[in-house]
Each structure stands twice: as C-alpha cells, then as structure tokens.
C-alpha cells in the first residue's frame, strides 16, 4: 500500500472515532463517576484490590498497542517503497 493511502485511512479512522465519541450519550461517558463514588466508600483493602484490578485490565490493551507499534516500526520501510 502506498503511504498516502495508509495516511488517509488512519485519518479517516481517527475522525470516525472522534465523531462517535462526540455523539455518544452522556450515560456512556459517566461510568468513571460511578466508579469514583464506589471507590470512595471502600475500605483500604478493597480500594487496593480495585486499583490492582484496574492495572490488570490495563495490561492487554497496552500489550496489543505495543505489538502494533513494534510491527509498524519494524516494517516502516517495506521493500519496493521508494520513500
């Protein structure tokens, strides 16, 4: 694929994501407030467990993003690409 086409696809995906997030209902975006109010009422052991579970849930997306970035960096100069 040409770099120009890939750049246009990435831009289109970014704009689509921004549009979806802009028109999302407020109830969808308010989930963090619910978690905060729940966490404020927890004791120290439960709060620590909540923090640990948040870190565990963060690992797969970060790993997937890292793999994608590594592959993009590794194949940034594809054979046959003039740039």
Residues present in the chain in total: 83
- Residue 64 in domain: yes
pLDDT at 2 over 80: no
Percentage of the chain surpassing pLDDT 70? 80
Number of structural domains the chain divides into: 1
DSSP 8-state symbol, 82: -
* Residue 4 covered by a domain: no
H or E segment to which residue 28 belongs:
helix 26-29
Higher pLDDT, 63 or 78: 63
Dump pLDDT digits (tens) for 12-50.
888 888 888 778 766 555 556 677 788 788 888 988 888
- Among 34-43, 47-56, 69-78, the range of highest mean pLDDT: 47-56
8 A C-beta contact, residue 3 and residue 81: yes
Question: What is the domain extent for residue 57?
Answer: 31-75
**pTM of the predicted model over 0.75:** no
Q: Can you say whether residue 80 is alpha, beta or left, with left for phi > 0 and alpha for psi between -120 and 50 degrees?
A: left
């Amino acid at each position: 694929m040409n770099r120009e086409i890939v750049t246009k696809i990435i831009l289109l995906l970014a704009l689509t994501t921004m549009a979806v997030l802009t028109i999302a209902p407020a109830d969808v975006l308010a989930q963090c407030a619910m978690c905060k109010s729940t966490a404020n009422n927890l004791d120290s052991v439960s709060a620590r467990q909540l923090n640990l579970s948040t870190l565990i849930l963060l690992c797969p997306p970060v790993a997937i993003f890292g793999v994608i970035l590594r592959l993009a960096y590794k194949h940034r100069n594809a054979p046959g690409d003039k740039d």
